[in-house]
Amino acid sequence: MFAVLKQRVGQVLLPGDEFSFAAVDGDGSLSLTEVPKLDKVVCGPGLRRSAARLEVRKSGVLRFKEPHTFWIESHQRRYVPAKGETVIGIIASKAGDVFKVDYGGSEPASLSYLAFEGATKRNRPNVQVGDLVFAQFLVANQHMEPELVCVDGCGRANGMGVFGEGGLLFTVSLGLCRSLLAPQSSLRAQIQQLFPSEVIVGMNGRVWVKASTPQQTLVISNLLQSAHTMTHTQRHTHFSRLANTH
């Protein structure tokens, strides 16, 4: 059934579609001899494993990455937090030693003042309400309050923390964010060829951009917000035209 799933890559799937990894024996009974293959499948956004079945949870295009990662690509804007994902949040309030962070979800996430590199009770980070933070989810499930941290497993910032001075924050579709975060993102390469800029992308659909001038920053913002409606050829033509005019 793994091969059948790969054959559906690039096709549109709908919530409720299922793929069974149980084989049928000659007497008509179910055999779970193919279940180990299910254990090798890595389910990304939009997919869920249940016993010997793989269930589709949201509509979109099935995508695949070697060796055995599948996910559903869609243009949704509502973000559901997942452990380990990095997001751009806004410090909404402070309650004791914990900051409440708006990341665009259904409820704010908590962020301890100790969850920054080098932070101690004596050396508290300089974080104010309204600041932007680049952080990752330490806890994200339906039974607990989401929790963010600005350090990796080794206690290093690794690019996370408070940022955002002089740039522009805006929102795009979640699918576009994943395209920008791809290792060989053609869209991100086109942006850098057009205007050298600093771009921070969160998995929650938020993008922060800072170019040499405010005008260039606005051009990049407009390009990214409209990019999800263009094909690769249309984007290439549009970027080429802009490059000739700047």
- Predicted confidence pLDDT, tens digits, the chain (246 residues): 567 777 888 889 888 888 876 544 444 443 444 444 555 778 887 888 877 788 888 888 888 888 788 888 776 667 889 889 999 999 999 988 899 999 998 899 999 999 999 999 889 999 999 999 999 999 998 888 999 999 998 889 999 999 988 899 999 988 888 889 988 888 888 888 888 999 999 999 999 999 999 999 999 999 898 887 777 788 778 777 877 776
The architecture CATH gives domain 86-163:
Beta Barrel (2.40)
| Superfamily (CATH H level) for 168-245 | K Homology domain, type 1 (3.30.1370.10)
37-43: long-range pairs with CB below 8 Å, 24+: 37/1, 37/2, 40/2, 40/68, 41/2, 41/5, 41/68, 41/69, 41/70, 42/68, 42/69, 42/70, 43/70, 43/71
Pairwise CA distance, residues 128 & 113, whole Å? 11
**2-73: what fold?**
OB fold (Dihydrolipoamide Acetyltransferase, E2P) (2.40.50)
